[in-house]
Chains A and B, each alone.
Chain A
Amino acid sequence: MSTFSAIGEEREIDRDEYTPGVEPQPTWCPGCGDFSVLKALKQALPEVGRTPEETLLCTGIGCSGKLNSYLDTYGFHTIHGRSLPVARAAKLANPDLEVIAAGGDGDGYGIGGNHFIHTARENHDMAYIVFNNEIFGLTKGQTSPTSPKGHKSKTQPSGSAKEPIKPLSMSLNAGASYVARTAAVNPNQAKEIITEAIEHDGFAHVDFLTQCPTWNKDARQYVPYIDVNESDDYDFDKTDRVEAAEMMRETEESLYEGEVLTGRFYVDEDRPSYGEEKRTIGEMPEEPLAERYWDDDYEWERSHDMFLDKHS
């Protein structure tokens, strides 16, 4: 038996394999958009042929962080805002793993914003799904980084004086090579986008609009939505950075005017992933590092043989 025989296993995968026996029923509120992310992942993973035991799902803290309890894979439910650095390192340690990171808008665009920018900049090969409900749900309804200006909550009683974060533009500028937005109310598109994001060789950022019926009643249900790649009203080239940027700007502004634009906004298939870049400069081994610890024939180097001459 090889060390990681779950990796690369060719077999039919049943969607139910991702449903944990311990807690098959999520505790998200009825009508919550998060159910759609779970469903899309359960559809996408068999489609890309990745089994639960070759997949590592890293989450942060918040309603979104519960995803690890409801999707049965190897999981790392990290701390608030830190799913990306944990996920990044796991991918570097073992590039054969399917690494997926997920979190909320507070987790990814607020407390973990620095990690988001740098992970996009470095173009790590992973899908990153942000459950964007424009509110802090688990802590009961505070204004979040994507809440619209003027949003009132117990922590912003006079209405937020801040412009919201523009996640798609931020992602593009930071260097993500795949940027998309989908919505819970659009399950077919969600499944397709999540599938593409997992398959993309680089950092694939999906801003997933997940309505919060409990704490964000004012917000719309993200309907009707428009797919900008299919609608005749929009004509832009998603492989063109300038056109993508303009489309993103329009999308981010119109969301707060009640128009929900979704789709693939930017796709760059040519940019090498971070792992490839590191290998090119000779700073990452060709074989997964994690395999080496199980290789009985590997001759482990000693400082005594390699580095001491310069001290003598």
Chain B
Amino acid sequence: MTDDELIWRISGGSGDGIASTSQNFAKALMRSGLNVFTHRHYPSRIRGGHTYTEVRASEGPVNSRGDGYNFLLALGDSFARNPQEEAVYGNEEIKPLSENLDELREGGVIVYDEGLLDASEIPNFEERAEENDWHVYPLDLRGLARDQGREVMRNTAGVGATCAITGMELDHVQDLMRDAMPEKILEPNLEILQIAYDQVREEYDVDAPDVSVPTGEHDEEQLLMSGSDAIAYGAIDEGCRFISGYPMTPWTEVFTIMSKNLPKLGGISEQVEDEIAAAALAVGASHAGVKAMSGSSGGGFALMSEPLGLAEMTETPVVLVEAMRAGPSTGMPTKPEQSDLEHVLYTSQGDSQRVVLAPGTVEEAYEQSRIAFRLAYEYQIPSILLYDQKLGGELTNVPKSHFDREPNPTLGKTLSEDALSEQPHSADGKFHRFQHDVDDGVSPRSIPGQKGGRFLATGNEHDPTGHISESPDNRVAQIDRRAEKLAAIRDDLDQVDTGSYAGPEEAEYGILTFGSQQGTVEEAVGRLNDAGHSVKSYGVSDMLPFPSEQVAEFIESVDEVLVVEMTASGQFRGLVQKNLGRYGEKLSSLLKYNGNPFEPAEIVDGFEAALVEDDGDASGHQTTFVPAAGD
């Protein structure tokens, strides 16, 4: 836990504008010069149900949610169900306050809307507040908002109160409201903000704030962005102008961003009947010469299995994104998990021929979205971007300069008609689209409508012209050639190095992780080293083709390795062992699958309890330790 940070949690009902209020507040903090990171918790429900967003702000880098939080703004849940009745979900009305107390740090602040929340309904509330040295501010935010305009503006009143208590100037918040709000609601909101601010300052002694907002300064212009934004912008900058999809949480975010922006770029977005069609359309568009993508989450991606295999067999470039959520089946739609890893690696019949990348941060999401497209088109292979609700939905600041790059609309090894005429053809004029002996296994392609380029694309095994063939010699030649592409892609990725490393090189212990848990692991590594341990981490992004050499080198360099992942069965650890074929006795696992991403302290405690003898206590956490083979 660090003291020089604000972790502000705004809680309320799903549908109460918690997400937009927190986004604006995060942006105001970013504009004030701080680094920010948000964490969203929301139910799979239409309206109502307890939801919260945390905004963590610090002068130093923040790449993860924190451990607990230190400022609660509890609003009412407008859509709470049957609060009087004894139902399985209990009294929902009080949840924005009652559900958030366990994780509030000692000395933390509670602002709650006494117009909607009655703290006396919570058993021992006052005793707990005293015990934990919480500073409690009951404010009638609803009444204040109602007096000035509309009840829904109570969020703004809460932000005003937050600024008053933490000593934050209103100007950044006001600027943001001017940018974000339509004229009609702007004035009353600005008024409510000011009145709430003044009222708190009058009624309470806030000159020595209990929790204060840190100050900082950025060297360059920052943007507040989610992984979903970054994936979409990466696609656009690689010349993707076609997307097809079907809504599913949490993939819908990428689909929405692309659908909004593609028409402005003369591109095409198609919402179709199901995910089978979605993937098949992307394949069809790419076959006809357009850079195309599709995507889904677990269940929808399962439907894409067959078109994915078709893209592999016909060597049609395509990018699919898979936004993981907790499974199996419908699972927990709004909760992050990493347990679709094996699904994405192996689904579809036959030997897999695909690229799978799992970015760890928003910057990497942009970068690897671009890499996924580049590899797909250069090597004529489907690329999959694997992420989850944590990376897709959480906001963090990234420097604007990160996106200041040249677009890359190239189609890869695609021939012009002039170049086509130089290529081998059959006597009847059919182009040899799938030649056996070619560099890196990539046989150049033609696009329908080109003269001298006609060929057959088929899901059957085929000869160089695309004609269906079951000849053993041809079969072996084609399989081997397609496999050669993966080897070439591995060499290519070695030049790029998508891995992320933290901690001292000569460390005693290692932590391996993949995808969205990277930032949290890196924060934990920093703390462990500060506490006197010797630990380093490696966040792996290339799931297929796997960076076996780099991972083996990392494992070799330390005594023991803890593999951290959000799965119940240790899928990533299994992938490491499958690829390396050894080190079972050196790899233990720290797993979390309760629907919430790791907090840094859980990794710190898990590491100490697991690897450092007689040290650490992870018993308070909902994490699972699986020892190394033989232990």
Contact = CB atoms under 8 A, between A and B. Distances in A.
Given A290-B447, A301-B407, A89 B283 contact: yes
A298 B309 CA distance: 33
Contact of B428 (A5, A21, A75, A283): A21
Contact of A5 (B290, B314, B450): B450
B145 interface: no
Given A22-B465, A97-B448, A290 B288 contact: yes
A75 B456 contact: yes
B449 A308 contact: no
A89 B280 contact: yes
A78 interface: yes
A77 B469 CA distance: 13
B524 interface: no
Nearest to B418: A1
A254 to B, nearest CB: 32
A93 interface: yes
Interface residues of B, number: 82
A89 B285 contact: yes
Contact of B427 (A21, A61, A90, A115): A21
Specify which of A20, A82, A114 lies most central, judged by the most chain B CB atoms within 10 Å of its CB.
Answer: A82
A310 B529 CA distance: 38
Given A78-B459, A94-B449, A293 B290 contact: yes
B440 interface: no
B449 A54 contact: yes
Given A89-B292, A283-B268, A283-B269, A312 B283 contact: no
Contacts of A115: 273, 276-277
B281 A85 contact: yes
Interface in B241-285: 241-242, 244, 261-270, 272-274, 276-278, 280-285
B68 interface: no
Contacts of A293: 239, 289-291, 409-411
A158 interface: no
Contact of A22 (B274, B276, B428): B428
B222 to A, nearest CB: 7
B268 A92 contact: yes
B241 A289 contact: yes
A118 interface: yes
Contacts of B475: none
Nearest to B448: A74
Contacts of B54: none
Interface in A95-129: 96-97, 114-115, 117-118
Interface stretch (A65-73, A201-209, A214-222, A229-237): A65-73
Contacts of A61: 459
Given A72-B454, A79-B306, A282-B263, A90 B426 contact: no
A8 B417 CA distance: 15
Contacts of B274: 114
Contact of B417 (A1, A77, A302): A1
A20 B294 CA distance: 34
B258 to A, nearest CB: 11
B277 A118 contact: yes
A56 B277 CA distance: 18
B310 A4 contact: no
Report the contact-size class of chain A (Cβ under 8 Å from the partner): 35 or more
A191 interface: no
Specify which of A79, A93, A312 lies most central, judged by the most chain B CB atoms within 10 Å of its CB.
Answer: A93
B289 A290 contact: yes
A90 B448 contact: yes
A118 B276 CA distance: 13
A308 B403 CA distance: 9
A289 B292 CA distance: 11
Interface stretch (B93-101, B201-209, B229-237, B545-553): B229-237
A86 interface: yes
Interface in B425-466: 426-430, 447-460, 465-466
Contacts of B455: 74-75
B579 interface: no
Contact of B467 (A5, A23, A282): A23
A89 B428 contact: no
A154 interface: no
B431 to A, nearest CB: 10
Interface in B515-531: none
Given A22-B467, A93-B290, A304-B405, A87 B449 contact: no
Specify which of B274, B411, B457 lies most central, judged by the most chain A CB atoms within 10 Å of its CB.
Answer: B457
B151 interface: no
A6 B277 contact: no
B391 to A, nearest CB: 16
B418 A289 contact: no
Specify which of B284, B289, B290 lies most central, judged by the most chain A CB atoms within 10 Å of its CB.
Answer: B284
A22 B306 contact: no
B68 to A, nearest CB: 28
B217 interface: no
A53 interface: yes
A1 B403 CA distance: 36
A239 to B, nearest CB: 28
A285 interface: yes
B284 A88 contact: yes
B407 A300 contact: yes
15 contacts: A4-B451, A22-B467, A73-B454, A75-B454, A90-B288, A92-B242, A289-B267, A292-B266, A293-B290, A303-B232, A306-B261, A306-B265, A308-B233, A311-B225, A312-B400
For the complex of A and B, 8 pairs with smallest distance between CB atoms: A21-B428, A89-B284, A4-B449, A86-B284, A303-B233, A85-B280, A77-B458, A93-B288
Interface of A: 1-7, 9, 20-23, 52-54, 56, 58, 61, 68-69, 72-79, 82, 84-94, 96-97, 114-115, 117-118, 278, 282-285, 287, 289-290, 292-294, 298, 300-304, 306-308, 311-312
Given A88-B281, A90-B284, A307-B261, 15 more contacts: A4-B447, A6-B451, A21-B429, A53-B448, A53-B449, A53-B452, A74-B448, A76-B458, A85-B277, A86-B284, A93-B290, A285-B268, A293-B289, A298-B409, A312-B400
Interface of B: 221-225, 229, 232-233, 236-237, 239, 241-242, 244, 261-270, 272-274, 276-278, 280-285, 287-292, 306-307, 309-310, 314, 400, 403-407, 409-411, 416-418, 426-430, 447-460, 465-468
